[in-house]
Chain A
Amino acid sequence: MSVAVKSWEALGTSVHVLTTDPHQVAAAEAAVREILQEVDAACSRFRDDSELSRLNASNGRAVEASPLLACAIATALRAARVTNGAVDPTIGAALGAAGYDDDFSQIAADRGPITLHAGPVPGWQAIRFDEASRSVALPAGVELDLGSTGKALAADLAASAAHTATAAGGVLVSLGGDLATAGIPPDGGWRVLIAEDSRVEPDREGPVICLRGGGVATSSTTVRRWRRGGAVLHHIIDPATGLPTTGPWRTATVVARTCVDANIAATAAIVLADAAVDWLKTRNLPARLVENDGTIHSIGPWPDPKGITA
Chain B
Amino acid sequence: MKTLTPIDRDRGLQRLRRLTFGAAAGALMAVLGISYVAAASYAGKSTSTSTSTASAASQSSTGSDLQSSAQAPSTGSSGSGTVTSGGS
Contact = CB atoms under 8 A, between A and B. Distances in A.
Interface residues of A, number: 102
A223 B57 contact: no
A273 interface: no
Given A129-B46, A198-B87, A258 B75 contact: no
B65 A223 contact: no
Given A67-B54, A224-B88, A309-B74, A286 B81 contact: no
Interface string B27-59: 000000000000001111111111011101101
Interface in A266-280: none
Interface string A199-226: 1111110111111111111111111100
Given A71-B57, A202-B80, A218 B48 contact: no
A176 B88 contact: yes
Contacts of B82: 3, 5, 18, 190-192, 202
Interface stretch (A110-118, A237-245, A298-306): A298-306
A59 interface: no
A286 B68 contact: yes
Contacts of A256: 66-69
A179 interface: yes
B77 interface: yes
B73 interface: yes
Contacts of A74: 46, 52, 61-62
Given A67-B54, A82-B65, A127 B44 contact: yes
The main secondary structure of chain B at its interface with chain A is loop
Nearest to B62: A78
B73 A255 contact: yes
Which of the four size classes fits the interface of chain B? Answer: 35 or more
Nearest to B63: A78
Contacts of B49: 131
A124 B74 CA distance: 36
Contacts of B69: 211-215, 255-257, 286
Given A214-B71, A216-B85, 19 more contacts: A67-B53, A74-B52, A128-B44, A157-B57, A157-B60, A174-B85, A177-B88, A197-B87, A202-B80, A207-B75, A209-B75, A214-B70, A216-B73, A220-B86, A223-B86, A256-B69, A257-B59, A283-B65, A309-B75
